[in-house]
Amino acid sequence: MFKKILEQLRWKKLARQLRKPTGAMGLEVARRMNINNEFLYNFTLDEMMIRYNQHILEIGFGNGKFFYKHFDFATNLRVTGIDISDDMLAAARENNRELIRDRQLELVKSASNSMPFPKNCFDAIFSINVAYFWKDPQEHLCEIARVLKPGGRLYTTIRSTESLSRMPFSQYGFTSYTEQEWKLFCHLNDLSFIRCSLVVEPDLPGAEFTGIRSLCLVAEKIKL
């Protein structure tokens, strides 16, 4: 019984750090997320088909290790990132000093349901393993639709309901979504659902969870 309680505490603590990495443990969790999420980052950027002169927003960038990847796809980009963790903001600024200095990257502390940006300013917005933490996804999608340009696209990459359910930490504050549920949320917030791309993540050496299936859910802001 005591062992089970300790396991539960372990998963709860990890769940809190995945939501908002903080302190020394948060920095370590962010490092591990880089390893676990790099495949999904590359997958999502491929789905986005980044083009010349776009303004892109990432929601929940962690320690910002992969911002440089955007600039392999196109030139004259502007990239903005938002995160709610002060520690991740500091780490990302340290990891991206040159991009920030050259005004190619801007990092802002903000939640995605209340962003300090004018309407119609981003060509593309994406998040990876973030949407689980939104208490009311409609709040976030409404705000995302506000700052997206008409015809701009939202790319939401999450793990499938079945895959997430196999991860013990997911029972502490995570909400999974099916393709049909996400379609409905998009419809209610002026976003036209475009497609769902499914991928099976490669198993990492020593991985605790294998055969993980993830989705990239793509929606477009309706042109009025």
Domains annotated on the chain, with CATH:
2-221 (3.40.50.150)
Per the rule left: phi > 0, alpha: psi between -120 and 50, beta: everything else, 101 is alpha
Residues 6+ positions from 103 with CB-CB distance below 8 Å: none
Residues 20, 151: Cα–Cα separation, whole Å: 31
pLDDT of residue 143: 98
**How confident is the model over 193-201, as a mean pLDDT?**
96
User: pLDDT, tens digit, for every residue of 40-74?
Assistant: 999 999 999 999 999 999 999 999 999 999 999 99
From residue 173, how far is each of 111, 152, 209 by CA, in Å?
A: 17, 30, 19
Whether the per-residue pLDDT at 11 is higher than 70: the answer is no
Whether the per-residue pLDDT at 3 is higher than 60: the answer is no
**How confident is the model over 185-204, as a mean pLDDT?**
94
pLDDT of residue 27: 79
